[in-house]
Structure 1
Amino acid sequence: MVVLTKPALGQVSLPRPQKPSPYFSGIPVIDLSEPGSEALLVRACEELGFFKVTNHGIPMELIASLEEEAMKFFALPQAEKERVGPATPFGYGSRTIGSNGDMGWVEYLLMQITSKPMSLPFLMDASASSFRSALNEYISAVRKLACEVLELMVDGLKIEPRNVFSKLVMDEESDSVLRLNHYPPCPGFNGTMTGFGEHTDPQIISVLRSNNIAGLEISLRDGSWVSVLPDQASFFINVGDSLQVLTNGRFRSVRHRVLANGSKSRVSMVYFGGPPSGERLAPLPLLMGEGEQSLYREFTWCEYKRCACRTMLADNRLGQFEK
């Protein structure tokens, strides 16, 4: 058992208590080994923008290895963790989860993994060799899974080429990142509080999993919030803002948030597959029907990231790029 040190989080005022939403039984579960999964993926992206995949091919031992290394890091004395920060944006951060002052009961490691693999200096230390090995194996496997899911989406959309989405994630200059989140116990607090405020993911696709502690919530089309039952053996997929643009709004970027449990430790690992920095984003003509109008003007990924940094949480970032 990992014994957690008391985090610096506890030295500041808490986010306000929150009431958990009811569990939602309607999240699509897609078995990637089954014929016809491509059509189910498309339907899930259109209706909810969020789904769970099983039979994903990533060994549980590999997943458990990185989770264990993450917990070891977050259990370090606060002073040691802060030597890896501050997150600008990469590195160790806590509490501050947006550039405009958004706060949550969370600490995290954010790593750039494509054009500058393993860019955090501490990962080069001999003492971090097991952490580095677990990261490399996990990143390779989860990127492969993201590409498999994106290519199945394209199969379901019946367009060519099959790699029209996945090539953006696999590009050497892809702006992809991995985020390890820790929502620690809070001494003396037995309820739930804001861990990570509501937002959408700006990238193309997000592939996430957590330990067996609840906290993730998503927003349905009617604006209501529902809780996602955790599943350690599966991965959850978010449609990102960029994919919503590329499909001209056919796929929905899902709004989500995390509530932290004051008495239990939650760890999540999220791979964000982003396009190359200079990529121009606009609806694909292949997905436009005759006479259909584009909902979004063309803009670069860099332009969007600047916008996203200014409006991290709860804002309609894509609205600034609508025609």
Structure 2
Amino acid sequence: MMASSAHKQQRQLHLPNICVGGGAAPPPTPSNNHPSTSASPAADALSRLLHSLPSPTLSLPNTRTRSPSATRPPLISLSNPNRNEQILSSASQLGFFQLTNHGISSQLAHSAELEALSLFELERDKKLSCFPKNWPLGYEAEEEEDEEGNGESFCLDSACYSDSNELNLTSLREFTRAMEKVGLKIFEMLAAALGFQNPLGDDPTRYCSLLWMSKNLHGNKPVLSGGFYPYIVGLHYQIRPSKHTLIADAGSVPISAEVDSILVTLGDIAQVWTNGKTKKVRSGRPMGGVGDEKSKSDDSISMILLVTLPIDSVVFPLIPKLDISNNNHGDDAENTEDDNNNSEGQGQSHDDEEGRKLFESFSFEDYAWRVYHERLLFKDDPLDRYRI
């Protein structure tokens, strides 16, 4: 019996104290309970190990993560004489910037927004009859549409045409055409800075504009309606303080733009035309901004104007303008552009600095249909299949 009690006591002395707590007593060890002359070599080793360990404490990993702070896009004024270089710098590094002194009044933007709101207040049958679907134009609603209309969107042409004479869209039409002029001017300056002949020129048959509208509901959460639509330049007038999440080449970028500025984004068509010299932002189908806490309202509209291509276009890298002084054949910029259009990028070539083109030519209609319907917004870059 005496032997059993001694054996039990010996076992307790060799077991570490596993209780957790900052104020717990240190675990009993052979070194502080028995003389060293009676301790075994194993006990001495365990004692040294336990004394070298810190007092046991309980801690939980910090799982709280902060939302990334919003980036303020570069601010560029159309009245700045260095605007071409500033646009080129922002386009090549980011793919987006803010534009001021653009000539579009806030009064016109607010009037256009009120007319856009009136469209969402129409009965569903009226929306369908006034704006029949003619892809990508017309009225569209997600199948999961709730009673408040979340998931609805309108896509109108630059004339804001409807099949009803009862709708007054005068301000919306004026706003759309004013935004289109700004978008064309931006790409003209970008082409000049890069040394490319502007393929749009003054010919309205070479481009078209689409106004995408969605209503922000449920606390101004962004409305994502499927995939996106390819474009050259996108413009979003900042009617009120708002934040946006852009899907850029580098991933999701939260940004905050100034009131009455125009948030300008460069699209995938601009990236192909410039042979990869500009970054791009995914947009097209409505992606509404997230309003500040002080400005949240159910009566806010996301309106994005896209300068894009006619559906039957062919997309390919553009040829830089020839240096007339070094051109023995005397080809001018207009002939260069015509040759480019006729050859679809396969004729005379002035490749990029690496000596090669980055993209092959492709059908705009095929590309637009695929990225619009296959919901590729957060997947791999759909332009990868056309890279050389």
Unmatched tracts of structure 1, length 5 or more: 1-18, 98-103
Distance 2:308 2:160 in 1: 16
More displaced 10-residue stretch of structure 1: 213-222 or 274-283: 213-222
Trace 1:173-322 onto structure 2 (pairs within 5 A).
174-184=207-217, 186=218, 193=221, 195-196=223-224, 201-212=229-240, 214-219=242-247, 222-223=250-251, 225-255=252-282, 258=288, 264-265=297-298, 266-286=300-320, 288-289=351-352, 292-312=355-375, 313-315=377-379, 316-322=381-387
Cα distance, 1:150–1:83 mapped onto 2, change above 3 Å: same
Task: Name the aligned partner's letter for residue 304 of structure 2.
Answer: V
> Which whole-Å CA distance do the structure 1 matches of 2:172 and 2:83 have between them?
29
Give per-residue Cα distances to partners, 1:59-97, cap 9 Å, x unaligned: 222212111111222233445434445644322223369
Distance 1:80 1:206 in 2: 29
Does structure 2 retain, via aligned residues, the 8 Å contact 1:210–1:268?
A: no
1:20 deviates by 9.8
User: Equivalents in 2 of 1:46, 1:268: separation in Å?
Assistant: 26
**Residues in 2 aligned to 1:235 and 1:66: alpha-carbon distance in whole angstroms:** 15
Q: TM-score, normalised by structure 2?
A: 0.64
Q: Identify the match of residue 107 of structure 1 among 128, 152, 157.
A: 152
RMSD of aligned alpha carbons: 3.1
Select the structure with the greater relative contact order (CA < 8 A; seq sep ≥ 6): 1
CA deviation profile, 1:219-263 (whole Å, cap 9, x unmatched): 46543x332224331111111111100111110112465466796
CA distance in 1, matches of 2:250, 2:351: 26
Contact 1:204 1:273 in 2 (8 A): yes
The structure number with the bigger radius of gyration is 2
> What amino acid maps onto 1:43 in structure 2?
S
Could you state the TM-score of these two structures normalised by the residue count of structure 1?
Answer: 0.75
Q: Which of 61, 65, 68 is the aligned partner of 2:114? A: 68
Residue in 2 aligned with 1:16? none
Alignment partners' CA distance in 2, 1:259 and 1:96: 22
1:266-294 CA distances to partner (integer Å, 9 max, x unpaired)?
Answer: 31211111123332211122173366211
Query: Unaligned stretches of 5+ in structure 2?
Result: 1-64, 321-349
1:135 aligns with one of 131, 149, 172 = 172
1:94 equivalenced with 2:145 (yes/no): no
Q: Deviations over 1:167-220 (max 9, x none)?
A: 3x8522534211122112x3xxx6x75521796651111111244253521246
**Distance (Å, rounded) in 1 between the aligned partners of 2:175 and 2:318:** 31
Aligned to 2:58: none
SS at 1:272's partner residue?
strand
Aligned residues: 281
Q: Equivalent residues in 2 for 1:33-182 (5 A)?
A: 33-84=79-130, 87-89=133-135, 90-95=137-142, 105-113=150-158, 117-122=159-164, 125=165, 127-129=166-168, 131=169, 133-157=170-194, 159-161=195-197, 164-167=198-201, 170-172=203-205, 174-182=207-215
Percentage of matched positions with identical amino acids? 22
Q: 1-side partners of 2:174 and 2:222: how far apart?
A: 31
Residues 1:83 and 1:279: Cα distance change in structure 2 (over 3 Å) = closer
